[in-house]
Amino acid sequence: MALAEAGARGRLLRWPRVLLFGDSITEYSFQENGWGAYLAERLVRKCDVVNRGISGYNTRWAKLVLPRLISESTSADSIAAVTIFFGANDSALKELNPKQHIPLEEYAANLKSMVQYLKSVDITADRIILITPPPLQESAWEKACLAKGDKLNRCNATTGQYAQACVQVARECGTDVLDLWTLMQKNQDFSSYLSDGLHLSTKGNSFLAAQLWSRLENKLSALPSLLPYWRDVDHTNPEASLL
């Protein structure tokens, strides 16, 4: 059978998508042992995991970009889940990092605006997961800043305020939330979760992956595996199984 004929006979296969939207912690998530790669591995026959992490971005910029990633013409059915993971840059100290800093109230408003936009294009609240920024290990991040000729431009207490705002937005909007800031500090030294005081280490990636998977697994468990298992293909008439 010619390929063109096979294509005409069979339905176009479209994998549902899980969209990871965030800053550098999302952008780096497809690196070796990254949390995005972990999700992609587990969903390979069910979903495409799409990395839309943009290093250095804050919610003011992200709010402008989101409609260019998911538009009204995007089939809502094709979006299985969306993670929104910002705050590590928004919470930078204004006097030391004015370019990335976003005031706390605006940060919350921007998150809410993004959730409302997703709802407006028929992506329901149960498919949206907000993720708070992780805690900041100040001494390690100060070393990273000093190496670039900068002063310490973030502090953990301030990051915690943004994490609390993220949790509150999720509560108000009816979405799920992963409070990474709180969970990572629960009864333990969290420094091992971070590679440089801000970004995730291998252990931190594993922690986030496990926490996120526990929330996504229930949402995605009903999705079928696309294309039959190879043992189930009729080898005498593969068209009957595959088209």
Q: What residues are annotated to the active site?
A: 24, 196, 199
DSSP-derived 3-state class of residue 128: strand
DSSP single-letter state for residue 135? P
State the Cα torsion 53-58-62-64 to the nearest 10°: -150
- Cβ-in-10-Å burial (0-12, 13-18, 19+) of 117 comes to middle
CA distance 166 to 181: 10
DSSP single-letter state for residue 35? H
C-alpha distance across the termini of the chain, in Å: 12
Q: Beta partners for 130? A: 84, 177
Q: What phi, psi does 82 have (nearest 5°)? A: -135, 130
Residues 6+ positions from 159 with CB-CB distance below 8 Å? 87, 88, 91, 133, 135, 136, 181
CA 45: distance to chain centroid? 19
- Cβ-in-10-Å burial (0-12, 13-18, 19+) of 85 comes to buried
Give, for 83, the enclosing helix (H) or strand (E).
strand 79-85
